[in-house]
Structure 1
Amino acid sequence: MTLSVRFTVRMTEDEKALLEEKASKLNVNSSEFVRCATFNYDPPSPQIQVASVDWKIYHLLGQVKFELNKIGTNVNQLAHDANLSVIMGSPMQSQLEELNEFSGCLNQLIGLMSEMRSQITDSTGVKPK
C-alpha cells in the first residue's frame, strides 16, 4: 500500500503523548496506529527480537554450578563430621558454625546460577545448544 496523501490532525500535547504511548505499546508509529484505529485494521504483528546469547558462557555457568555442588557436598560432609566431633566432646562449635554459614552461601550461589540459566533460556525462548 502506497501512502500518498497527507492528512493533518490537531491535538493537545497530552493527547499526542497518549497517542504515542499507545502506538509504542503496539510497536507501531503514530500514523499506523491512527490508521488501524480509524479503519479498524489489525495492527501488524510485533517482530520479536531474540537476544543474542553466548552459549559458551551459558555452559560455563553450568560447569561452575556443577563444581559448586561438589564443593557444597564436601562442606556438608565436613559439617557432618564436625557435628559428630561435637557430640563426642570435641570443642569445634565455632568451626561448625562457619561451615554451616559457608554451606548456606554455596547453596545461595547455586540457586542464583540456576536462576540465571533459566532466565537466559526463558528470555530467548531458545533451548541451549
Structure 2
Amino acid sequence: MNGIVITWVQLLYISLILILFYVAELLLFMRKASAQRSVGTDPLEAELLRKEIAQLRFEMDALKLRLLATQAEWNQPAELVLDSKQESPYSHAIRLAKLGADSNSVAHQCGISRGEADLIVALYRSSTQR
C-alpha cells in the first residue's frame, strides 16, 4: 500500500497550526467587536449629538419665553405701560422689546443674559412681522 503516512509528530504539528489559526481568528473577531463598540464614542457623532442637544435646549428656551410672553399679554391691560417694579424681568423685557428696544438695552435694563434678551427681541420681531 502506497498511501499517505502521517507520523505522530506531524499530526502534532498540524494540530498546533490549526490551534494557532483559530486563536488568530478569535483575536481578529475580538478586535472587530471592540472597534464596533467604540463606534458609539466617535468624536464626530458625539459633536453632532451635542449640537442637537443645544438646538433642543434653544427651542425649549424659546417655547418658555413664548409662554411667558403669552402669559404677560393675558395679564397686562390693553396698554403696554406697567410699573416695572411689579413686572418680572421677562415681562419687562417683553414690554421693552415690543417698544422696539434692542437686545443690549433689554439685557441691561432687565438684568437678564444677552442670549435671553436676543431671544425675546427675536420672538417679538417674528410675531410682529406675521
Same fold at TM > 0.5: no
**TM-score computed with the length of structure 1 as normaliser:** 0.32
**TM-score computed with the length of structure 2 as normaliser:** 0.31
Look at both structures and tell me which one has the larger radius of gyration over its CA atoms.
2
